[in-house]
Amino acid sequence: MGLVEGKVCLVTGGASNPGLGHAIAHKLASEGASVIVTDVDGEGAERTAAEINAQGGQAQAWAQDVTDEALWDETISRIRAEYGKLDALINNAGIAVLKTLPELTLADYNRQLLVNMTSVFLGTQKAVALMRETGVKGSIINMSSVAALVGVPACSAYAAAKGGVIGFTKTVASETAAEGIRCNTIHPGLIDTNMQRQSSVDNPEEYVKLNDAVPMGYMGPPHSIADAALFLVSDLSTYMTGAQMVIDGGLINQ
């Protein structure tokens, strides 16, 4: 039996490969979960679900813009109708627009807050409501970043959003702990994903500096984040809420 056998898990931002959501969806399915993969790129989400099903797992894929409240309502309603419960939500969808302060526009700033922070509020609020309705002692994982913990040039808006995720998550954890609903953050460092590869184009000088600063000497694989998500979804972490899991090869120690 897998670590999350019988659990129903929603993973947002699961289309990009290599990507954190893609890796998390695969990991949870391999350990017995029924996984719903969503992404604004519906075709990409379908590819992820098809890979999982071809490997013997259980997955569906739905198109979803995580900044749209109506689509969140639709997604949660569909989960209620088709599965009757939700055991875990992984708020993974996100974007990064890496510009220094003089270059950053208000539109850049607002877009990153909307996708990286507001979507987390919407998803968490809807998921908690369903968990309470069905009496599920669920797990919510909100993806933050090491950029919320240390200063990284050209990441001001991104860091503001990811920093907001920390405070929001801790507050929700306090509000839901007595019901057994857990809410934690994961803070990836430099992980080999499509988003990280794009940052090497957007901000090449800082990218090289950060890579050189990783004490372990290499960029982390997506499965390192997926393993952490598996732990937080599973019953191995039932006494853990409001916590920050930093997975960065020692980067923030520098």
* Rounded distance between C-alpha atoms, residue 56 and residue 2, angstroms: 13
Task: Kindly list the domain boundaries of the chain, sorted by start residue.
Answer: 8-245
Give 219's contacts (C-beta < 8 A, 6+ positions apart): 190, 191, 192, 196, 211, 249
The arithmetic mean of pLDDT across residues 49-64, rounded, is: 98
Residue 20: which H helix or E strand, with range? helix 20-30
154, 120 contact by CB (below 8 A): no
Look up residue 217 and give its amino acid. G
How far CA 96 is from CA of 135, 161, 175, 250, in Å, comes to 36, 10, 30, 22
- b/e per residue, 181-191, with b = 16+ CB within 10 A? bbbbbbbbbbb
Q: Is 198 helix (H, G, I), strand (E, B) or coil?
A: helix
Residue 210 has pLDDT above 80, yes or no: no
Residue 61 has pLDDT above 90, yes or no: yes
Q: What is the pLDDT of residue 60?
A: 98
Instruction: Spot the catalytic one: 158, 207, 218, 239.
Output: 158
The arithmetic mean of pLDDT across residues 61-87, rounded, is: 98
The arithmetic mean of pLDDT across residues 66-95, rounded, is: 98
For residue 126, the tally of other CB atoms under 10 A from its CB is 20
Quick: pLDDT tens for 155-194.
Answer: 999 999 999 999 999 999 999 999 999 999 999 998 988 6
Q: What is the pLDDT of residue 6?
A: 97
- Rg (C-alpha) for the chain, rounded Å, is 17
8-245 to CATH, choices 3.40.50.2000, 3.40.50.1820, 3.40.50.720, 1.10.760.10: 3.40.50.720
The arithmetic mean of pLDDT across residues 31-49, rounded, is: 98
Q: Count CA atoms within 13 Å of residue 18 on its CB side.
A: 13
Residue 204 has pLDDT above 80, yes or no: no
239 is catalytic: no
229, 5 contact by CB (below 8 A): no
